[in-house]
């Protein structure tokens, strides 16, 4: 498909386990974002990748959260030792680095039980 793809679409995990979320951006998009939306809340910025620049990690809520991106391709968001407050929809978006419009994936709904 031509859009941003996220997997899995749903993930239920036990408290304390690690999870890995995947994002496949639109081909050619140099910028990639991770956001999360907790129930009843707005979009919370987590991390931003732009080309070969150092990522902007200013939104990561704790050191249990990390993200990687290889070149201009797939990104993975890893949450270690998950807590119940990590339950949220995790959204990935990508954009051309020269265009502000970002395209979002469908999100991964993470539930920590």
Partner 1 sequence: DQQVKQNSPSLSVQEGRISILNCDYTNSMFDYFLWYKKYPAEGPTFLISISSIKDKNEDGRFTVFLNKSAKHLSLHIVPSQPGDSAVYFCAASAWSGGSNYKLTFGKGTLLTVNP
Residues in contact with partner 1 by CB under 8 A are 4, 30-31, 33, 35, 41-43, 45, 48, 50-51, 53, 56, 91, 93, 95, 97-107
- Minimum CB separation from partner 1 for residue 28, in Å? 13
Residue by residue, DSSP assigns the chain as --S-EEE-SEEEE-TT--EEEEEEPPTT--EEEEEEE-TT---EEEEEEETTSPPB-TT--STTEEEEE-TTS-EEEEE-S--GGG-EEEEEEEE-TT----EE---EEEEE-
- Minimum CB separation from partner 1 for residue 31, in Å? 7
User: Measured from the CB atom, is 35 or 65 closer to partner 1?
Assistant: 35
């Amino acid at each position: 498909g031509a859009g941003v793809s996220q997997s899995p679409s749903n993930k239920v995990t036990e408290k304390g386990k690690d999870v890995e979320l995947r994002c496949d951006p639109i081909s050619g998009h140099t910028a990639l974002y991770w956001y999360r939306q907790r129930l009843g809340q707005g979009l919370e910025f987590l991390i931003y990748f732009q080309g070969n620049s150092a990522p902007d990690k200013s939104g990561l809520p704790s050191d249990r959260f990390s993200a990687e991106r290889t070149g201009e391709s797939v990104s993975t968001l890893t949450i270690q030792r998950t807590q119940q407050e990590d339950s949220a929809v995790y959204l990935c978006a990508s954009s051309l680095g020269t265009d502000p419009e970002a395209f979002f994936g469908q999100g991964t709904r993470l539930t920590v039980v």
